[in-house]
């Protein structure tokens, strides 16, 4: 809803997988349906995503927010988040979002490079991202700044600069999406005529790895890496080209752990070693399809991992048991 549809990579309807947004009167039922599937004590959030929430008419925004706010008041839901474009933020809008208990605002920044923004048809510049981010923070909201890699005119260096700018703008969280060529978009035409070359999967993994390292060092939570695989994004439907992979995040984290292990084992003699890592990281330390285990085995290291939830994300501890 409310989207000018000018970004070269986006066919909003195909990506969001739904053509009709639910009406305000329908969302109570939707939220209750989802709440019934969740345990009572977990943190819950209502998210207005898949478009530019603050671009829809103010009256309609309020109708949605009134419904969502009822769940906050009753304590059934903890918070609300919305996603929008950087140029759809002003003081009036932020006052409304505050009034109805919105906690987090995510902006699709995509890039902080004006050339890339322009080539991607975003319709806003870095200045707009900066101004909105500053305003959002000054109102006390949590700020999310989403970014994309492999956009037209983009380079590894520009993506890294975007991540550094996201850090400098004080974002609390981010999402990283590799650019995909989707059917019926401007990017499809550029791709067909050879004017746009998508990233290879290994390039996308390697750039994303660098970005995650930057965000991790600066305590910025990476909420998502890559698009959710959906039925719509298949070659039979709207996927045309680009670095798509069902386990994209796993590939990136496997690579991060390969680096961590390489550094750790640098002065170790080939042998059998046991390490403790964060419980949620064991699969990544082991690697996608056990690739890290196999790789280090080929170098003479037989590795075994144990998990502990208290261990920070990318730390590795020696196991003395
Ligand atoms: S990326 Fe966002 S702003 Fe651009 S066309 Fe798609 S929904 Fe609209």
User: What's the average model confidence in pLDDT over 1-21?
Assistant: 70
DSSP string, 43-99: --EEEE-SS-GGGS-HHHHHHHHHHHHHHHHTTS--EEEEEE-GGG--HHHHHHHHH
Q: What is the pLDDT of residues 90-106, one digit of tens each?
A: 999 999 999 999 999 99
Q: What is the pLDDT of residues 142-192, one digit of tens each?
A: 999 999 999 999 999 999 999 999 999 999 999 999 999 999 999 999 999
154: Cβ contacts below 8 Å, ≥ 6 apart: 111, 113, 116, 148, 179
User: What's the average model confidence in pLDDT over 61-67?
Assistant: 96
Ligand 1 in reach of 51 Cβ (< 6 A): yes
Question: How far from the centroid of its chain's Cα atoms is residue 183's Cα?
Answer: 22
Q: Is the pLDDT of residue 225 over 70?
A: yes
Testing ligand 1's pocket by substitution, the residue of 7, 83, 146 carrying the most ligand atoms inside 8 A of its CB is 7
Q: Is the pLDDT of residue 109 over 70?
A: yes
> Given the CA of residue 5, which atom of ligand 1 is nearest to it?
5
Domain 12-245 sits in CATH at 3.20.20.70
User: What's the average model confidence in pLDDT over 227-244?
Assistant: 85
pTM of the full structure: 0.93
Q: Which residues of 216-250 are buried (b: 16+ CB within 10 A; e: fewer)?
A: eeeebebeebbbeeeebbeeeebbbbbbbbeebbb
User: What's the average model confidence in pLDDT over 14-18?
Assistant: 53
Question: Which residue spans within the chain are E strands per DSSP?
Answer: 45-48, 79-84, 102-110, 142-149, 173-178, 181-182, 221-225, 239-241, 272-278, 302-308, 316-318
Q: How far is the CA of 52 from the centre of ligand 1 (A)?
A: 7
Testing ligand 1's pocket by substitution, the residue of 84, 85, 120, 151 carrying the most ligand atoms inside 8 A of its CB is 85
- The band of 316, judged by pLDDT with boundaries at 50, 70 and 90, is very high
User: What's the average model confidence in pLDDT over 307-320?
Assistant: 92
Give pLDDT, residue 51.
75
Ligand 1 in reach of 86 Cβ (< 6 A): no
Label the pairing between strands 173-178 and 142-149: parallel
Q: Is the pLDDT of residue 87 over 90?
A: yes
Asked whether 276 and 211 are in contact (CB, 8 A), the reply is no
User: What's the average model confidence in pLDDT over 221-237?
Assistant: 85
DSSP state of 200: P
Neighbours of 81 (CB within 10 A): 21
Q: Is the pLDDT of residue 321 over 80?
A: no
User: What's the average model confidence in pLDDT over 64-87?
Assistant: 96
CATH 3.20.20.70-classified regions of the chain:
12-245
Ligand 1 in reach of 304 Cβ (< 6 A): no
Question: 3-state SS of 278-314?
Answer: EHHHHHHHHCHHHHHHHHHHHCCCEEEEEEECCCCCC
User: What's the average model confidence in pLDDT over 65-94?
Assistant: 96
User: What's the average model confidence in pLDDT over 227-254?
Assistant: 89
Ligand 1 in reach of 5 Cβ (< 6 A): yes
Q: Is the pLDDT of residue 16 over 60?
A: no
Burial, 72: exposed, middle or buried (Cβ in 10 Å; 0-12, 13-18, 19+)? buried
> Given the CA of residue 51, which atom of ligand 1 is nearest to it?
7
Q: How far is the CA of 109 from the centre of ligand 1 (A)?
A: 11
210: Cβ contacts below 8 Å, ≥ 6 apart: 156, 159, 160, 163
pLDDT, the chain, mean: 94
d(CA 105, CA 89): 10
Q: How far is the CA of 76 from the centre of ligand 1 (A)?
A: 31
Among residues of the chain, what percentage have pLDDT more than 70?
96
Ligand 1 in reach of 12 Cβ (< 6 A): yes
Q: What is the pLDDT of residues 273-309, one digit of tens each?
A: 999 999 999 999 999 999 999 999 999 999 999 999 9
């Amino acid at each position: 809803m409310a989207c000018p549809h000018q970004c070269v990579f986006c066919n909003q309807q195909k990506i969001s997988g739904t053509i009709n947004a639910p009406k305000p009167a329908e969302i109570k039922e939707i939220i209750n349906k989802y709440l019934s599937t969740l345990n009572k004590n977990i943190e819950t959030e209502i998210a207005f995503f898949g478009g530019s929430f603050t671009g829809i008419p103010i009256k309609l925004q309020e109708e949605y927010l009134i419904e969502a706010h009822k769940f906050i008041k009753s304590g059934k839901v903890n918070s609300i988040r919305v996603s929008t474009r950087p140029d759809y933020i002003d003081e009036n809008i932020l006052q409304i979002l505050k009034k109805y208990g919105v906690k987090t605002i995510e902006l699709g920044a995509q890039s902080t490079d004006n050339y890339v923004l322009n080539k991607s048809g975003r319709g806003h510049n870095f200045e707009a991202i900066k101004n909105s981010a500053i305003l959002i923070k000054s109102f006390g909201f949590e700020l999310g700044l989403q970014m994309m890699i492999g956009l037209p005119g983009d380079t590894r260096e520009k993506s890294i600069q975007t991540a550094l700018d996201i850090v400098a703008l004080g974002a609390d969280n981010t999402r990283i999406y590799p650019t995909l060529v989707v059917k019926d978009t401007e990017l499809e035409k550029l791709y067909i005529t050879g004017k746009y070359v998508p990233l290879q999967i290994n390039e996308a993994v390697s750039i994303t790895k660098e970005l995650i390292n930057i965000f991790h060092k600066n305590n910025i939570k990476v909420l998502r890496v890559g698009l959710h695989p959906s039925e719509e994004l298949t070659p039979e439907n709207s996927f045309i080209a680009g670095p798509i992979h069902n386990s994209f995040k796993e590939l990136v984290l496997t690579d991060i752990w390969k680096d961590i292990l390489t550094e750790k084992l640098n002065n170790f003699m080939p042998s059998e070693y046991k390490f403790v890592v964060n419980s949620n990281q064991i699969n990544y330390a082991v690697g996608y399809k056990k690739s890290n285990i196999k790789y280090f085995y080929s170098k003479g290291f037989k590795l075994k991992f144990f998990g502990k939830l208290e261990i920070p994300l990318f730390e590795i501890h020696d196991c003395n048991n």
